[in-house]
Each structure stands twice: as structure tokens, then as C-alpha cells.
Structure 1
Amino acid sequence: MNPSLSFRMRHDLIDVLYTYKNAFASDNESLGPIEGHEVDIALNIDRPYPPVCRRPADPASPRARESLEKHIQELIQLGVLRKVGHNEEVEVTKPVISPWNNSKSRTVGYFRALNTYTVPDRYPIPRNQETLTQLSNVKCITSMDSLKGFHQNVLTPKTRKLLRIITHCAIYEYPRVPFGSKNSPSHYQRMMNTTFPTELSEGWLIIYINDIIICCDSWSLHLERLARVLDKARGVNMKISLKRCNFGFEELKALGHIVFVLSLGIDKNKVAEVLLKPIPHNKKEMMSFLGFLSYYRQNLKDFEILAKSLYRICDQQTVFGMTQERIEAYEKIRKALTEAPLILMPDWNMPFKFYMDACGDGLGEALHQVQINDEKLTEGPVCYISRQIKPTEARYGASQMECLPLVWALEKLHYYLYDSFFEVITDCNAVKSLLNMKNPNRNILRWQIAIQEYRGNMTIAHKAGTFTRMLMDLAGGN
């Protein structure tokens, strides 16, 4: 609960929470099950599932056995696991204790073999970028998590026999959807969308798998919407983790970011965990490091260009080795991560500014916007995009190379630029002449056709050196 809430606001909030107290549960209470949403795993009929095989339990030290037994007993008490007979003909796999949030851990089934025979569920998962931009200009935010997520969904009886794990003392079966099953996120997202269809269509409720975010502009509306969500959750027997709720905040953590009223920042706690790790010693560690950074690429200027040498050593044909050049690139990226500026939430009623440039190493571009903040006009970045130059593009002439960023960015930033007015700012006159070139070659002709969609909303301004100077000022904190 937001500590800055007034006494009256706290009182009203507690009244709502008490009314719907049955929608909440703690870690050691029984889960669900959510009613009306049984989950079935469809197997690929073109690839028959292999015959039944038995696997022995993995060897484990006394401490590992104690930890595993503790996790198993917790899941049995919650109704997530049940013991099955040893003489049953079953396909079994091993459980894995996986590190989780806040130094906690959870049991994940090692269902890799089953997942290869499972028909993919293509139900759409919301894109993080779109989810976060929905929080623009919201003055009151509440976030909630359903307790233990997937475990609240029930499996059909015929599916349960496919999801069994073996330990040193018994074989267990999942009556609920486990962590580690291929389509678990899709099943849960579908269930959540089916439970809250009206709220999602009205645009004030955001659901990302088991994360629930309520957006409001006033306190009275916040209480009304919170009551609606809790009422529907209680109606399907969904349990929400009270420990992971944040009620009535102007800013909070969501999807690895810090969400403010008008801007978005990187969660420094997640960054600190990565920065404490030593320099990667093999390809797996380097790919993990780059994967983490890639999640925040829209906050990082010239990310792909800075990481070029690091991506190169992850190739199968390349022998891993941290040269001085790669160590310097690694340190530059770490510094960029710690100094990443806040990016603005897009205001769809205001025009955008698009700064672009190309160099021998790659394309570096920034989408900006001028917004009204405290009755003042301020300009700031909405997102950064970058990529490396492809081998065929490296042979382009100077004019084509300067036009390439525009064509690529219009495709990459379509989410922001479609049906929006924007100004393209470049330090090369060739971009302006591209649109009016007569008798272009086939490559330029394709570019002209791609740009036609945006001609009515786009203006191009030539300002020598503007892009470079502006980004240097931003990096310096000006």
C-alpha cells in the first residue's frame, strides 16, 4: 500500500480489500483451482510420443534432498502435486529446483522430451513494449500477482499422466499446470483474458500472464476498478498473492522497469545483480549477459554497435576469448547500462522527432518527443534502436548508406509512427532527395514505395551534426 495515501484513502482501500478477502491467499494456503479452465496438452500426431520409459532419480546430496523434500511437501499441501503408485506404467522426468525472485526458488519439471512432442499453442502473449506504453500518463497504478501463477490452472485427467516427476523417494503427478511445460504461459494468458474480457477491452486493465495492473486517473475510479477485478477473480476462485500487491502508487516496478507518470526507467536492482557478476568466461555466460542487455535495448543508445565484437565471439565458428577490444566493449556496455537515461512514455497526441545516422559499424537512431511537463516544453528520448551493418549494405554508396536508417527505422518504429506526425532530422541531404529521385535503381525504388505510407505525416529537416551533438549531450546528462 502506498504510504503517502491519506487516512481516508487507506480506510476506503481496506474496506474494498476486506470485502474481497477471499480473493487473496498466502504462500502456505491452498490454491484455486480456477474454475472453468481445464488445460489439455495436445501431442503431435505426426510424431508418435515415444514408448513409456522409466528414469532413475538423480543422485542428490543430503542437503539437496532436504531442499527437494521441502519443496515437494509444500506443493502437496497446496494441491499442486500428488503421489502416484510405483507400479504404474508412467513416463517420468526429474524435478529441478530453479532460482527465482528475491533469493527464492521453485520446483520446475524437466519436461524437455515432452515439450518436443507438444503442439505449440500460438495464443498471443502481450509485447512488453506495448504493455509498458499503456501506462503513459496514468496517475494511480495498482499491481497484483496471482499466487504461484500456472499452478492455479487444472489439468485434464488424461494429461496428468504426461506430467510426472521422480525423486529419491516417490513418483509424483501434477494435477495442476507445472512450471516447465511448453505451453503453460499461453494457457494462463488465455485464461486471464477470458476472465477479464470487458476490463481489457476498456483499456484500463493490463494483464501480462500472471501480472495484473490497474490504471486510473482518480482515487474513486481506482477503488471501483479494483473492486471489479477482485470480484471477477473471486468468482473463478483465483487467488492473488497479497505479499506481491502494490496499491495506489504513482510509480512502481513492472516487467523489469520502473514506471513513472511520464517516463520509464530500468530497474536498478536487476542491473545490480548483473553488474556484480565477473566477466563472462565462456560463450554461454556471454550469451546470457547479452540476452539480459537486449531486454533493455530501447533504453541503451547504440547497443548493437557497442556489442558488435561481443556478439561475434558467440558464433559457433569463433573460439571464445576476451581480447582487450572485447573487454573495452564489455565495460562500455556496463557503463551505458548504469547511466541509461529515463525514456519518455509516448504521448500519442504530440508529434515525434526522429534523429538518425549511419556509420561504418552500424545504424544508430533515436526517437524523441517534445512533451508538456509542469507547464514547460521538454524534449527527451522515447526509445533508441540500433543494429549492425549487413555485408551487402557495407557496399552501399554514401547516399544510400544515409538513406538506409530511415527505411529500416520506419519498419522498426511502425508501432510509434503509424498515423502519427513526425519529423526526420538528418545531417545528410541525400535523405531529402531520396523521395524525389527520378529514374531510381531497383533498390531505391523499393525504398520509395516503403516510405509512401508515411509521406502524409512525415517531414524531413537537414541539420548538420545535430544527431551527434545531441546524443553526446544526453550521454553527459544535459
Structure 2
Amino acid sequence: MPLSMLDRVGQAVVKPTRMTLQLVDRSINYPYGVIENMLVKVDKFIFLADLVVMNMKEDSAIPIILGRPFMKTARAIIDVENGEFQLRVHDEVITFNVFETMTHPNDKGACFRMDVLDEVVLKATQQLKKSSSLECVLTDTMDELDEEDVIEMSECLKHLNTFKEISPSDANHEELKGDSTLVSTKPELKILPIHLKYVFLEPNGEKPIIISNSLSQLEEEKLIKVLQVHKEAIGWSISDLKCISQSYCMHKINMESDYKPIAQPQRRLNPIMKEEVRKEVLKLLEAGMIYPISNSEWVSPVQVVPKKGGMTVITNEKNELIPTRTVTSWRMCIDYRKLNQATRKDHFPLPFKDQMLERLAGQAYYYFLDGYSGYNQIAVNPEDQEKTSFTCPFGVFAYRRMPFGLCNAPATFQRCMLAIFAHLVEKCIEVFMDDFSVFGSSYDVCLENLELVLKRCIDTNLVLNWEKCHFMVQEGIVLGHKISARGIEVDKAKVDVIEKLPPPMNVKGVRSFLGHAGFYRRFIKDFYKIAKPLCTLLNKDQPFLFDEECMKAFLTLKNKLTTAPVIVAPDWSDDFELCVMPVTMLLELSWVSGGIRCFTLFIMLGKC
């Protein structure tokens, strides 16, 4: 669309873009911006389209060019043999005949206005038929009026100003009012551990970031300078989020062949939950991530669940230690289970955690980065947006960005991150979903790696969460493990909680303890042998009897976790030696031979 048409469009919001276009003459043109979700009418159909505004001369014959994305949205079919062009919406089709269009003349007709003729027709009409009082009010023709006409027009005005009030019980949805408390001027600064501190990229305490507290003055200045240059990659509020370039990734919801759309009703919410939904919907609307919709075949309900913190041990009224998870806040979720059942699954693999941790361990410096609402930075395919519709007390809305709760969302996000950092993964960065770990063998190397990653984030519109990013630290928590130059260690906070756990009183307690302790099973030698008495209690139809053997296993696991060793990643470039004690029995010798073959295969696969 030419730039000169903006004035005629009206209140259109033009968003900046880094798009570059190559014209027919092979010249490079930089667009003025992009207008999203403009209504374009083609015959009887109305479509939503994103228009690229170009600073170019307007062609009166062809003011707007609708490209291939529009043709995909309109499900266009081009029949070259018959010279037909079809646009389809559901079961309706409109057809344009190109051969017939070419027969129309290209000359432009002119239309002239005759004011004298209009005045003559108006006077003749007034003489033939007197206008009613309502017509006089609406057309503003009140030159000569008598007293009766004035009274009659006053009555008409009273009727125009009256309307029927709708009671709140008759309305389907409540009014969604704004809240001034949602807009925060400055981000909240929480208390940090002793090895971290806040610094600011702008004066007056604007744009804080978290860095290591052990850096020298020169190192800190160099780090801040790099972050100031690339601060566009960091977000301090949801308004800073951008949509990741669709050339890298777009979430599609591919359905099974025998699916049937399901529109579910909304669920009842108490006042606290309803207020949480209102805040979340307002936040998403202001950020442009959702939009109202009324004709979706798929509708999922909203549910508010408690957002719990980590496992803690509290004392109850009987002075007994009870493990529990405290509720810190509430979180709005969408129940997409019906949609997920009808969705074709994406089997994109996630990286192995142990291999990723081994590659991270032993480095001098790290940057632990985190995506800002990572899922919400990926666009949803326009054809699939209505499938993400959800209903709440304030209406029905659909997502423009990928929401949480979709079964294929983790695979889409991991694929997108690997596409963005493909040339950097395992060299200077490790990616597991929205957790990015940048590393380096020295300060200067790590700083160069940070520049590469931040520049890549800016190029692809990926935004990081300032509150969860720690810059130039020497140790940190990655996937529940403490990573440093020493190696891989257990997270002391999690171990302290496990140490305070009382002996389990039922099957649920045993399963919870084994889940927490099993997370660090690689740090405990013969973990499965030690935990066997506890695992036996989980068998089907097994009576729960927590005897001395179970108590011994419980205490042994707790003791080994508190004295867990530091795991050092193996150097796969070195040769491995396997020492075997002399054996005499033929059966034992065959066992050792088979074990050597299996271990050799494991080493060969590990080096691949």
C-alpha cells in the first residue's frame, strides 16, 4: 500500500519493520511500516490482511497489491487453462474470469456534478410533498417552521434520545474495564543473593539488569556497554515483546482426519479467580496477543489454578512435620485437552539433560538467560488461530501468539530456538526450551559470545526476561543442578528440603520422596539397590508396611544426598581403560566379556 493512502485509511497503527523488499527492477526498498489486521473487501468477502506501507508513487488503477499471504488466507485457486481466479471462504466461492476482465476498456470515465439541477429538483420536491418533522430534524432543513412543527420536532427528539436499558442479568458477558494498577512505571527490584547485584542501563534507575557481584570495575563497564548497545534484546514489560520472525517459526495446529470441533461452555469462577482472569485478559489485549472472536468452532474453557512455590516442610497443629507446597499466587490456564486429543502430535526431540549439563560444566563464566513469556513470542498460523479460542466471563477470545497448554507447543518452541541459534548451539550456547546458557572459557571469550547471542536475538525479534537473566556469573542453577567450573553439583536448596522431609506415611508420600531423591540419582551410587525397599511399596496390591528396612533406605538416601559428590564431565578425547579382576569361572568370564562389549558400544555412541 502506498504511503499516501494512510490519510484516507484513518486511525491505522503503523508498526515499524526491518523488512526489505526487492522490486522488479532489482532495487532494494525499505518499507515505511506494517498495518496489521486491515479489513479488505473482495466482492462479497471481507478478509483480514497485513498491509506493508511503501513510500512509493500511488497508482490510481492499482492502489493496493495483495500478495501470496493474502492468496493463502483466501484459499485462492488459479485455473490457467480456463482463465479463472477463485477465492473461497468455507463453502462459498467467488470466481473472476481473467479473459472477460481483459475485454473491459482501460480509459477512465469522468463524472460531472450539476449543482443547478440539484437545486431545481430539491425545490420541486418540497413543493410536491412537505417534509415530515422527523425528516427536517435529520436533514437539518429548519428554515421556516411554525409553532406546531417546533412542538412536533421536540417530541421526535425526545424519542430519539430514549433507549431501552439492558439489565445485567440479560447480558451474556460482563464489561471488561481497564485497571490503572496494571501499568507499572518501574520494575520491582527483589532481594538478590550475595553473589549478584543490580545495575542500570539508563539513568534514574531505569532498565535494571542482574550481573555478578565479583566483577572488577573495568569488567563491569565493558559488560554494561555491550548490554546498552543490545538492550533491544531485553524486555522489562510485556509491551516490549515482539513476534519472532515468521520465517523461522510459526505454530500450526494440524488435526487428525476424524476430528470433530467442540465448543465448550465457560466455567464458574469465584470473585478472586474472576479478577485474575480479568487482569490477564486485559494484559493480553493491550499487548495485542489476543482478539475477540464470535464464530469459532473450537472453544475451550478457562480455569484458574494456584501457582505454588517449591516444596517446604511446615509444622502442623500436632507438632508434626508436613511437606507441602505453599500457594504464592494464581495463574489463568486454558483447558485445551479436547483440542489436544484431536491434534496430530509433533515428535520433535528435546535434548538430553545430562549431556547438556556435561557440556556446560567446567567453564569459567556463564550467562543464564530466559525468554520473556517465550511461547507468546511465536505467531500462530492465521488459519489455526480460531482453534485457540477460549471463553471467560468477559467474552470469547482467540490467540495471535502461541498460548500455553497446547500439546505441540514445546516441540514448536524448541524447533524455533534451534533454528535461531543453529550455528551457535554446543559452541557457545546451550538451549533447553526457553532456558539459554551462554558460556566461555574466559571473560573476553564469554563477552564475545554474549554479543553474538544478543545480536541474534535482535535480528529475530526474540526478547529476554531481564528478571531471570544473570550476566557474567561463575556458577548458577540449570535444570535443577548447580553448574560451575568445578563441575555438576546438587542444588543445596532442594537438598535441604529433602533432608527435612519426615518419613512417608502412605504411598503418596513414598512416591513424592522418590521423585525428589530420584532427580539426583546420578549422584548416588547404587541408587536403585538402596531405594528397592521403598519402590516395593509402590507395587500394585502391595500392603503399605514401612518397616525398618524401608526406614534404613530412607535415611541412607537422605544422608547420601547431603554428602553428594561433584560430577566432572568426562573428556571424550582421552582413551578409556577398563580394569577387570581375574576370574576363574567360565560363566563369570562370559559376563565380563559381555559387559566389555556393551561398555565399548556405549563409549562409541558417546563419541558420535
TM-score (norm 1): 0.70
- The alignment partner of 2:274 has SS state of helix
SS at match of 1:39: coil
Which of 234, 238, 241 in structure 2 is aligned with 1:24? 234
Quick one: which of 549, 573, 579 aligns to 1:424? 579
Q: Is the 1:38–1:154 contact (alpha carbons within 8 Å) kept by the matching residues of 2?
A: yes
Partner residue of 2:393? 168
Matched to 2:298, the amino acid is: V
Give the aligned partner of residue 251 of structure 1. Answer: 475
Q: 1:154 aligns with which of 379, 396, 406?
A: 379
Distance (Å, rounded) in 1 between the aligned partners of 2:534 and 2:444: 51
Q: Contact 1:144–1:246 (CA<8 Å) still a contact in 2?
A: yes
Asked which structure has the greater CA Rg, the reply is 2
Alignment match, 1:399: none
Q: Which range is displaced more, 120-129 or 273-282?
A: 273-282
Q: Give the match for residue 69 of structure 1.
A: 278
1:83 alignment partner in structure 2 = 292
Paired position in structure 2 for 1:133: 358
Query: How far is 1:206 from its partner?
Result: 0.9
User: Any idea what SS the aligned residue of 2:578 has?
Assistant: strand
In structure 1, distance between residues paired with 2:380 and 2:522: 38
Amino acid at match of 1:94: V
Residue equivalent to 1:38: 250
- Counterpart of 1:467 in structure 2 is none
1:117 counterpart (336, 342, 361): 342
Supply the AA of the counterpart residue of 1:90: W
Deviations 1:312-371 (CA, angstroms, capped at 9, x unpaired): 222333345544543443343233323322222323355xxxxxxxxxxxxxxxxxxxxx
| Kept in 1: contact 2:304–2:330 (CA 8 A) | no
Structure 2 partner of 1:204: 428
Superimposed CA distance per residue, residues 121-156 of structure 1 (whole angstroms, 9 cap, x where no aligned partner): 222211110111102331111111111121111111
**Does the aligned pair in 2 maintain the 1:142–1:215 contact within 8 Å?**
yes
Read off the aligned partner of 1:64 and give its amino acid letter.
Answer: M
What's the offset of the Cα at 1:38? 1.1
Aligned residues: 375
Asked if 1:93 corresponds to 2:298, the answer is: no
CA RMSD of aligned residues (A): 3.0
Conservation of the 8 A alpha-carbon contact between 1:111 and 1:180: yes
Q: Which runs of 5 or more structure 1 residues have no equivalent in the other structure?
A: 351-419, 457-478
Q: Is the 8 A contact 1:262 1:345 kept in 2?
A: no
Whether the 8 Å CA contact 1:93–1:165 is kept in 2: the answer is yes
Name the SS for the 1:64 alignment partner: helix
- Aligned residue in 2 for 1:371: none
Alignment of 1:290-329 (within 5 A): 290-320=514-544, 322-329=546-553
Change (3 A) 1:130 1:218: same
Q: How does 1:359-370 map to 2 (within 5 A)?
A: none
Please report how far the alpha carbon of residue 424 of structure 1 lies from its aligned counterpart in structure 2 after TM superposition.
3.5
CA distance in structure 2 between the aligned counterparts of 1:434 and 1:452, rounded to whole angstroms: 20
Aligned mate of 2:402, from 177, 191, 202? 177
Name the stretch that deviates more: 327-336 or 213-222: 327-336
> What is the match of residue 103 of structure 2?
none
* Aligned residue identity for 2:539: D
Whether contact under 8 Å (1:121, 1:183) holds in the other structure is yes
**10-19 or 27-36: bigger deviation:** 27-36
Gaps of 5+ in 2: 1-210, 311-327
Q: CA distance change for structure 1 residues 454 and 138 in 2, over 3 Å: closer, same or farther?
A: closer
Q: Secondary structure at the match of 1:12?
A: helix
